[in-house]
């Protein structure tokens, strides 16, 4: 099982975009997603960048990221000598932190060897999951 490390720049972007550590009235009610750029080695998934994926189709319990947005993220990461290694998306409000069927499908299609981080910004809960649905050790700044 790989260890997942979130570096400071990636963490700052996620925290700002998801509204973590912000006043209650500024917390986001719809799901949000960041593509994660980094490097995968034998024992570590090293996450260096988080890129907000704006979605025209999201709600309290779903988000649909168009294919061209994933393509855009892959292009940006490549120019930083990074790869798309996963995503971090929110389950806001009263949603639990878990991998839904749709989350697992996206994971298998987009980054089968990577990581999915699910976050509830209101409760400040985070969990990382690999393709088999098992939780991975997650180190945040
Ligand atoms: Zn989800």
Alpha carbon of 63 to ligand 1 centroid (Å): 8
107 CA → ligand 1 middle, Å: 10
- All structural domains of the chain: 3-139 (3.40.140.10)
Taking the centre of ligand 1 as the mean of its atom positions, its distance from the CA of residue 98, in whole angstroms, is: 7
- 24-68: pLDDT as tens digits: 666 788 999 999 999 999 999 999 999 999 988 999 999 999 999
Residue 56: the pLDDT is 86
- What is the distance in A from the centroid of ligand 1 to the CA of 50? 17
Q: Residue 136: what pLDDT? A: 95
Distance 49 CA to ligand 1 centre (A): 20
Tell me, in angstroms, the distance from the centre of ligand 1 to residue 4's CA: 18
The average pLDDT across 13-22 equals 89
Q: Residue by residue, what is the 3-state secondary structure of the chain?
A: CCEEEECHHHHHHHHHHHCCCCCHHHCCCCCCEEEEEEEECCCEEEEEEEEECCCCEEECCEEECCHHHHHHHHHHHHHCCCEEEEEEEECCCCCCCCCCHHHHHHHHHHCCCCEEEEEECCCCEEEEECCCCCEEEEECC
Cα(4)–Cα(118) distance, rounded to whole angstroms? Answer: 13
pTM over 0.75: yes
């Amino acid at each position: 099982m790989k260890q997942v490390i979130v570096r400071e720049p990636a963490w700052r972007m996620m925290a700002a975009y998801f509204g973590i550590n912000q006043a209650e009235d500024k917390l986001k009610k719809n799901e949000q997603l960041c593509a994660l750029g980094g490097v995968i080695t034998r024992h570590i998934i090293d996450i260096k960048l988080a890129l907000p994926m704006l979605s025209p189709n999201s709600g309290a319990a779903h988000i649909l990221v168009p294919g061209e947005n994933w393509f855009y993220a892959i292009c940006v990461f490549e120019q930083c000598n990074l790869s798309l290694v996963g995503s971090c998306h929110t389950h806001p409000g009263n949603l639990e932190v878990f991998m839904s069927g749709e989350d697992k499908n996206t994971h298998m299609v987009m980054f089968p060897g990577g990581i999915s981080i699910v976050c509830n910004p209101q409760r400040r809960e985070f969990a990382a999951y690999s393709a088999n649905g098992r939780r991975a050790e997650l180190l945040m700044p």
